[in-house]
Amino acid sequence: MSTTTITVNAAQVAAFVAGKLAPLAVPSPRLRPDIGAIQIDRGIIVEHYEEHPTVRLQFDTAAGMGVELNVRLAEFAADPATYMRDLLENLQGIQHAAQLRRAGRQTEIEAMHEHITLLRGADPMRGSR
């Protein structure tokens, strides 16, 4: 079995991810519409003295929420399918939490988070074990 290396650039990654996020985005006067209603910028995230090339996607949703995502190119290239699945799942969770907060249910969210943290045996100040 032979292996083939495929190279993609930042613009291709941005176009692919923006295509998946396009149904969530609505036009916004505060953002430049690079791909649909999504603004795309290249960047570098510095974490622990290491630089990670990224593409940043920004858009507004119909619910009036502003979204900003940084896609790390190396992580995306390593496993695009898993990266996109995780990205969309995390985005869905974040949107749900934001909607609950807007509905005045922040106390309920905090109580549930505390309960889950206790069940996992984690120290909320230090993260999970």
pLDDT for residue 129 = 46
- Tens digits of residue pLDDT in 24-83: 999 999 999 999 999 999 999 999 999 999 999 999 998 888 999 999 999 999 999 999
Which amino acid, residue 27? P
Question: By CB neighbour count within 10 A (0-12 exposed, 13-18 middle, 19+ buried), where does 15 fall?
Answer: middle
- Tens digits of residue pLDDT in 98-109: 777 777 676 777
Quote the CA–CA distance of 55 and 45 in Å, as a whole number: 10
In percent, the amount of the chain with pLDDT more than 70 equals: 88
Instruction: Tell me the pTM.
Output: 0.71
In the structure encoding, which two tokens stand for residue 103, read together? 């509905």
**Nearest CA-CA partner of 14 in 38, 44, 50, 48:** 38
Quote the CA–CA distance of 32 and 87 in Å, as a whole number: 22
